[in-house]
Every structure is written in C-alpha cells, then in structure tokens.
Amino acid sequence: MQTQLIKHDKKQVDKIDARRRHYILAFVSYITSLVMFIYGIKNIHAEEILLPVILFGTGLLFLVNIIVFQISDNLDRACAVEAILVGFFVLSLVFQGGYNNTALYWVFPFPAILFGLLGVRKALIFNFLLLTSLAVMLYIPDLIPAQYKDAEASRFIASLVIVIIVCWINDFYRERSHQAMDKLQESKELQANTDALTLLANRRFIDSSLMPNLAEQPELFVPLALIMCDIDHFKRLNDRYGHNVGDDVLKAISMLFKRNIRQQDFACRIGGEEFLLILPHTNHTDALNVAEKIRQQVSQEKMLKQDKHYQVTASFGVAICESAEQYDEALKLADKMLYSAKNAGRNQVAG
C-alpha cells in the first residue's frame, strides 16, 4: 500500500538523476563540440588533414546525437551513443597524435564523462576497453602514425588508470550512499506512516503521502471510493475483556481488510476503532459491494478466543470522490453515512 507511493517518490529521484545525465550529455554535446570546432578551424590549414577531420567530424556527430535526443527523448540511447562517440574521438585522436603530439593530454577528462553518462558498471567496462585499446596502440607503435616516447606512454597509462580508479571509487560509493539513504528514508517513511499496532497506514500517511499524490496526479486515483468503518460497541468490548483483547480484535480486522482489498487499495487506521478504506478507480456500486463483503466477514469471524459466542460487528459508510478538490467533502459524507448506519442499528452499510 504505502510502498506504492514510496515507489512514486523514487520515480521523482530517478527523474533528478536523469536530469543530471541530461546536463552531462548537453555539456559534452555543445561545449565539447564547440572546442573541437575551434581547434578544427585552427588546424584547418595544417599539413595533416586527419586532425581537423577528426575534430569537425566528432563535433558534428555530437550535435547530431543531441538533436536526435531532443526529438526522441530517449536518454539511455543518447548517452550510449555519446559514450561511443567519446571512445571514437579518444582513439582517433591518439591514433593521429593531435597538434604537436599532444593528443594524450585530451584523454583525461573523458573517463569521468563516461561515468556520468553510463553509470558505474557500464562506465567501468567501457573505460577498461578504452584503456586496453590505448595500451595496445601505445605499446605497439607500428599500429599508429603518431609517435610517442616510451616513458610518455607509460606515464600516460599509469595516470589514466589512476583517474579511472578514482572516478570509479567516487561514483561507486556515491551510488551506494544514495541506495543506503533511499532504504533508510523508505524505512523511516514506512515507520512514520504506519500504525504500530495494526501495521496499516495512519493519518500521517494520508496527509503527507496520499493527498499530495492525489493533488498531483488525480488520474491515478479518481473516481476514488472512501469507506469509513467503525467497530460496533468497541468500548464495551474493552471494558468487558480488557484492552489486550481489544487490540487483538483490531489486528484481526486489519488482517481481514488486507485479504479483501486490492494491491492498489489503501487501508488506514484513523482512530481508536475507526478505519478508512481508500479504493482508487472504484465506482459507488463496487464500493458498496466491498463494504458489504467485509461487513459479513467481520460478523461471521470468531475473533475472541475467550468467548467464542461474542460477535464482533462493524458499521460502514461509503462515499465517492470524483476529484482531488472533493476529497474532504467526500470524507465528510462517508463519515455521515457511517453514523447513519450506526443510527439504523449498527452492523450495516450505508451509502
């Protein structure tokens, strides 16, 4: 029950992470391509035509990728393509050597970019493949036209390994930290929003979780059926058998609720012996049928071990909420119907 809305809150967190990746994608696409165009223009008259081709070509592909993303809104695909383009650019630049053989200096920002685009696991694999490819190119010099000194190549590989490890440690523990905080927050939310005795949702859950979600996304809820339930003569039961027995009855009825409502429904304890069932996408007839079914089961179930002949009954009031703005009015109507059921003799459903 409550976990459904907690999952909705997690989706909000995922949206924030998606926005972070979107910003990284935009930065690489726009800023990096701009830098590539600037250096491409500077080297357009160079004897080695391959360098401006690499710069202009990769920069143009970066822009094409971000434009396709703006049209398709497929972030995962855009980040994957961007990572491939980054790998292509790094290998091409090292292959060619860059301006005055400075290609190796331009490689170091890209491991962090890959972690930002792909996430920890995929980025680690991609960086390992990139590192392996660079090592092959540098230690088998006959494969590439660029010439790098042995000491320069060794220091570059060692430095790149350190950069990748630091990026991995940072992102790995950042991700673990977020997961731990999410679990802690979920645990705190469940505890704060759960009635300790019955393990049903409480009033705080309605105010802090249900109502904001109902206002934000009413289409997920309305028409919303509200069923108020009150155990008949509960004070008399407590006085006669003691509060421990009363608590057992509350827990037994709570379990009965859980057996008779759907996964998307909510059962809440809102008072001593008062409960509220919240049924999304439920019409008036179906809500009356649910209330009647539960009423019959309550009256038929033997809840007192001390007295098998004692019959626990409950009264129900039903109302329908057609919009988020009507919730308070519908709740008052359900409460009014509950008192109508009690005034009519109890152990009834009114609506």
Identify the CA nearest to 113 among candidates 138, 89, 142: 89
Are the CB atoms for 299 and 239 separated by under 8 Å? no
Cβ 79 vs Cβ 25: under 8 Å: yes
* Contact present, 341 and 316 (Cβ < 8 Å): yes
Q: How far is CA 328 from CA 206, 297, 325, 334, in A?
A: 12, 29, 7, 10
Antiparallel, parallel or unpaired: β 274-279 and 266-269: antiparallel
For residue 311, give Cα distances in angstroms to 74, 201, 236. Answer: 59, 26, 12
Helix or strand run (H / E) with residue 264: none
8 A C-beta contact, residue 167 and residue 111: yes
As a dihedral over the C-alpha atoms of residue 260, residue 278, residue 208, residue 177, rounded to 10 degrees, the angle is: 40
Report the C-alpha gap between 43 and 50 in whole angstroms: 10
β-sheet bridge partners, residue 180: none
How many other β-carbons are positioned within 10 Å of the β-carbon of residue 155?
Answer: 12
Q: Which residues are catalytic?
A: 273
Q: What is the DSSP string of 269-327?
A: E-SSSEEEEEETT--HHHHHHHHHHHHHHHHHS---SS-TT----EEEEEEEE-SGGGH
317/325 Cα distance (integer angstroms): 20
Handedness of CA 26, 28, 29, 31 (dihedral sign): positive
